[in-house]
Amino acid sequence: MPTPRRLTCQTCRSEEPHEPLTPKERDWLQGQLGNRVPDNYYKCVNNRPDGKVCLNLRTHSAEKHFRLTKRLPDALE
C-alpha cells in the first residue's frame, strides 16, 4: 500500500505532505475520470492560509498529472 510522503504540489508551489486516497476519494475520482483509478494517486494535505486543506491531486510520478489542476471536494458524502 502507498504511504504518506512529501511531494511537490503544483498548487502550493512547494514540497508538501501528501497522502494516498481513501477508498471513498478513489471512488469519487473514478467517477470524475470514468475509468479505474490505480493506487498511485496522492492528495496534498498542506493547510492553506484560508484554513482549508489543499487537496490538490497528483500521481506519485507526475506533479502535473492533470492538464488542469484537480482537487478533491472538501467534504465527500
| 10 close to 64: Cβ distance less than 8 angstroms | yes
Q: How far apart are CA 45 and CA 18, in angstroms?
A: 6
- By the 10 Å C-beta count (0-12 exposed, 13-18 middle, 19+ buried), 39 is classed as exposed
Asked if residue 72 binds Zn ion (CB under 5 A), the reply is no
**8 or 40, CB closer to Zn ion?**
8
* Sites for Zn ion among residues 12-71 (CB under 5 A): 12, 16, 44, 46, 54, 56
Asked if residue 10 binds Zn ion (CB under 5 A), the reply is no
Question: Which residues contact Zn ion by CB under 5 A?
Answer: 9, 11-12, 16, 44, 46, 54, 56
